Chain A
Amino acid sequence: MNFELTEERQMLQDTLRRYLSDKYTTAKRNDILASDAGMSADIWGELADLGVLGALFTEDQGGFGGAGFDLAVVFEELGRAGVVEPFLDSALMGGRLLAMAGRDDMVESVIAGTLQLAVAHGEPGGRYDLDHVTTIAQGGKLTGRKAVVMNAEAADHLIVSARDADEIALFLVDKDAPGLVVQGYPLLAGGRAAEVTLEGTPGDALNIGLAAIEDVTALAIVAQTAETLGAMETATALTKDYLGTRKQFGRPIGTFQALAHRMADLLIELEQARSAVINAAGYLETDARDLTLSASKNLIGRVGRLVAEEAIQMHGGIAMTQEYELAHIAKRIVMADHRFGDTDYHLERFIALSVA
């Protein structure tokens, strides 16, 4: 039993934390949020240089990490700083799907930071069900609509799921392909997404399907729970500081037991969340993967809501203002429950898997 990070991962964590606390300030991020692109190409390039992208891929794939704990280390740090650039969607999900499909040259570009991707899988009315695909593929031409596709506007290629003779299959679609329409919009918690429609749009078959979608979603859940854990660390740290410095009735408000006990509860739940992420990362490559991921996603969803709401409440009005760090962090935490299955979805899946 050993809960220490390896030396390499420790170094990556230190480097990333230092870089983000220097460069990714609240003011910088608010500028990024207000920009048309909703992301910073400079930040992307610099983080690629620091090895953040390589850490998301195995050595076989041309990277130097790729395991559950590599993802956890990277995304926990991105979450602490409330990073909105599409590391999860473009690099991890898009890149790992291309790796599964054996498109090594493109994976190399992803790791170099020069290729942007979007995974166009979910559809209107599909909610969180991974097998809900009504987009049709016929003779390599795709027709259908995809919902809330992250990073679609910036992507050089979209990876689109469609039913081909009743099997779900994935296709690579060029951003300039005929019949492809991308209607973009900003997201409440930062970043951009789009509604994507395809009308006889040519797609290059990747020869992978639903199993690949399930595998990459498993990776995404590890990454996203770690990211949310990082955001919760920031939210609790800000709240702890605030309770120690904000004075009302002549004393720091943290000296009121009603608040002190609630702060203690948050710290207890934060450790639960940390362990849930460790479970998710540790069981990623075992038979217990799906059960563990559902347990972790459910717990992070519950604890996340508690932490976000309590952090705002204990701060009072200041936490409601966009220019204060917590506002963005709280939105990241809560909105994370709207992807890859929410608290209830994973409770149900946990029940189904544990009685199976």
Chain B
Amino acid sequence: MDLSYTDDERAFREEVRAFLRDDLPPDFSDKVRKGQELTKADMERWHAILNARGWLAPNWPKAFGGAEWNAVQRHIFEEEAAAARAPRIVPFGLSMLAPVLQKFGSKAQQDHWLPRILDGSDWWCQGYSEPGAGSDLASLKTKAVRDGDHYIVNGQKTWTTLGQHANMIFCLVRTDPTVKQQEGISFLLIDMETPGIEVRPIVLLDGSAEVNEVWFTDVKVPAENLVGEENKGWTYAKYLLSHERTNIAGVGFSQAGLASVKRLARAENHNGKPLIENPHFAARVAQVEIDLRAMATTNLRIISKAAAGSAPGVEASMLKVKGTIIRQEINDLARRAVGPYAMPFASEAVEGANDMIPDPHEAGPVAAQYFNNRKLSIFGGSNEIQRSIIAKVTMGGGA
């Protein structure tokens, strides 16, 4: 048992720090610190900076142009990037679709699509959830019917994150309605410019418009855009979801969030003293910090196992549940900290809103973030689904 990083790992951390210090544009970190939305151009520029360094695809094998970092290296990068308030990497192409193409795609698909993900030619979004298929994803109804060299796609996807920026969407579609649900699903790559596709924004409760509905009416998709075999899509989807769960604990985000709660609570006064000295508030902060310190070690235990080659199973579900509870608790503390100033509707979604909204704490839209991050325990497999997985795997029973 040794809780310290190796010399190589420490050197790697220094390398990451130096890169972030030199190459992370200060206006990006400023936006992230203030909880402001990044534009599409911002995100593309950050991807390009990482790509120039060869760090845009940490999880890809070198053969495909990735950095091929192990789990510990990826963790170090994520921790440092969160501490430096670097923007998140947009995951849809890089860490969701790419692993599927690398494992199940044809040589032609790999050669065509993977370089375009790295150089930013394509912006991918994910066509999984449907209005009637959320937690029960396998019940999806969007159908694709083979017609010569094409599939004809009809149906509706929803909760499509950043779909408004995307030119490509990877979709789960039903290609055989006559068999068991999981056995009639295929994985299809669809150009968003194809006639018959309509993207409608969904305004969320914090005023943001990051998710969309995507409607398909007689959309013609070349058959060569089928990934792997027809009706084997569920296998690929599950493989993708296991990659969606990397960095699921969000330790770096929680550490950065907790630091900003403390900053707010030092600046805020209650009965003539800094709020951070108030026993009730201090107890709330301490409780979360205690949980976070333990979870950070759980996270490292799992990462360390993964780096040694064993695939995380039920532990990913555990980290998802605990990690999202902690992140949401930190969001709750931030809104509490600012008192009445949590009430103004500060939102990047409302143009010019923040020029007139007072923000004496320079806290950014903390209450809006509190509401927005209720999504953490809903998406990527809700916490209820994760608990069912934990129960099923550890007790063998149903849920």
Contacts and interface: CB of A to CB of B under 8 A. Distances in A.
Interface of A: 122, 124-125, 127-129, 147-148, 183-189, 193, 195, 247-249, 253, 256, 258-259, 305, 309, 312-313, 316-317, 319-323, 327-328, 330-331, 334-335, 337-339, 342, 344-345, 347-348
Interface residues of B, number: 57
B136 A348 contact: no
Most chain B beta carbons < 10 A, residue from A188, A316, A344, A348: A188
B340 A344 contact: no
B378 A127 contact: no
Contact of B205 (A247, A305, A327, A338): A327
Interface in B348-399: 350, 353, 356-358, 360, 367-368, 370-372, 374-375, 377-379, 382-384, 387-388, 399
Contact of A342 (B159, B336, B368): B336
B280 interface: yes
Interface string B281-297: 10010000000000000
A321 B368 contact: no
7 contacts: A127-B270, A193-B343, A259-B384, A317-B158, A322-B205, A338-B342, A339-B343
Contact of A344 (B132, B268, B281, B379): B281
A331 B371 contact: yes
Among B132, B345, B379, the most chain A Cβ lie within 10 Å of the Cβ of B345
B340 A338 contact: yes
The interface centre, meaning the residue of A305, A313, A319 with most chain B CB atoms within 10 A of its CB, is: A313
B378 to A, nearest CB: 5
B134 A338 contact: no
A128 B388 CA distance: 42
Nearest to B346: A188
Contacts, number: 142
B194 interface: no
B134 A335 contact: no
B269 interface: yes
A344 B332 CA distance: 13
Contacts of A327: 204-205
Interface of B: 129, 132, 134-136, 139, 158-159, 202-207, 268-271, 275, 278, 280-281, 284, 328, 332, 335-336, 339-346, 350, 353, 356-358, 360, 367-368, 370-372, 374-375, 377-379, 382-384, 387-388, 399
Given A316-B134, A316-B378, A321-B203, A335 B367 contact: yes
Contacts of B275: 127
Contacts of B135: 248-249, 253, 316
A310 to B, nearest CB: 10
A247 B139 CA distance: 11
Contacts of A331: 205, 371
Which 10 A-B pairs rank lowest in CB-CB distance, beginning with the nearest? A327-B205, A248-B136, A344-B280, A186-B345, A188-B345, A127-B339, A322-B203, A148-B340, A338-B342, A185-B357
B296 to A, nearest CB: 24
Given A124-B360, A127-B268, A248-B135, A317 B379 contact: yes
